[in-house]
Amino acid sequence: MAGEDDEYVYDEATGEWRPASEMAAAAAAAAVVRDASGNVLADGDSVVLVKDLKVKGAGQTLKQGTVIRSIRLTDNPDEIDCRHETIKGLVLRTEFVRKR
């Protein structure tokens, strides 16, 4: 049960006022990032591209099967931050990668 000093937030889905701590925990649980196969991704995972991708601004194509190491999750569950030896600041959509 929530303490008397908890801050309350209006939950539009249920139409109720709920403790902010409870809402934050629910949001964290809902923000699971999954790859194209449905596997859960986490910071530091390695992924493999499932199709060829043309990289805007870099003038090159990353081929299917390319391994991307040490991904970082973003605020958007559909995108991950990546580093590739030839491309800095690469952001990939999770629908185009599979956990290795």
Phi, psi of 27 (to 5 degrees): -65, -40
Fold of 47-99: SH3 type barrels. (2.30.30)
- Consecutive 10-residue runs of the chain (100 residues): their mean pLDDT? 70 87 72 91 95 90 94 92 88 95
Residue 17 host element (H or E) = strand 16-19
Count of residues for the chain?
A: 100
| pLDDT for residue 5 | 62
In the block, tokens 């709920």 appear at 18
Where in the chain are the domains? 47-99
| pTM for this entry | 0.68
| pLDDT for residue 72 | 94
Question: For residues 13 and 8, what is the distance between their CA atoms, to the nearest angstrom?
Answer: 15
Phi, psi of 22 (to 5 degrees): -70, -40
